[in-house]
Amino acid sequence: MPFPWWLLKTKKTTFGLALVVTLLVAVFRKINRPPSHLRHLPYISFYTFFKAIIKDITIDRFSKDIVLPVMKRSPGAFVCSTVGYWGIMLTDPIAIKQFLMKPDMFPKAEINQGQPGTLIHRFVGGANIVMLNGTDWKRHRKVAHSYTFKVRHMKLTLRHSSVPQIVNPAFNRAMPIRLFGELTQQLFQAMDCTSSVDVLDVVTRMTLDTIGRAGFGFDFNSLADPANEWVTVYNDVKAALMDPFFLVCPVFDTTLVNWFPKRAQKHQQMTRFLAMLDTIIEAKRHHLETVEEEENRDLLTLMIESEQEGQATLTNEELRKNLCIFFFAGQDTTAFTLSFMIYELAVNQALQDRARQEAIEILGDASSDVLPSAEQTKQMTYINAVIKETMRLHNPVLNTTAREGQVYIPKGALVCADMSDLHRNPLVWHDPYRFDPERFLPGGEAERQPAGSGWTWAPFSNGGRICVGMNFSLAEQRVVLSMLLRKYTWTLPKDSIHRDGLVTNGLAFGIISTSNLKVDFKPRY
Cβ neighbours, 10 Å, residue 360: 16
Rounded Cα gap, residues 369 and 525, in angstroms: 9
DSSP readout, 350-406? Answer: HHHHHHHHHHHHHH---SS--PPPHHHHTT-HHHHHHHHHHHHHS-SB-SPPPEE--
| Residue from 220, 192, 216 nearest 206 by CA | 220
The CA R_g of the chain, rounded to the nearest whole Å, is 25
Rounded Cα gap, residues 496 and 37, in angstroms: 46
DSSP class of residue 127? S
CA atoms within 13 A on the CB side of 5: 1
CB 394, CB 502: distance < 8 Å: yes
For 370, phi then psi, to 5°, come to -125, 125
DSSP readout, 57-126? Answer: --HHHHIIIIIHHHHHHSSSEEEEE-SS-EEEEE--HHHHHHHHT-TTTSPBPGGGG-STTSHHHHHH-S
Q: Which amino acid is at 213?
A: R
CA 447 vs. chain centroid, Å, equals 25
129 membership: H or E segment, kind and range: none
Rounded Cα gap, residues 70 and 53, in angstroms: 18
Q: Residue 458: CB partners within 8 Å, gap ≥ 6?
A: 96, 100, 417, 419, 422
| Residue from 511, 475, 474, 463 nearest 141 by CA | 463
Q: Is 193 annotated as a binding residue?
A: no
- Please state the residue numbers annotated as binding site: 467
Binding-site residue positions for heme: 467
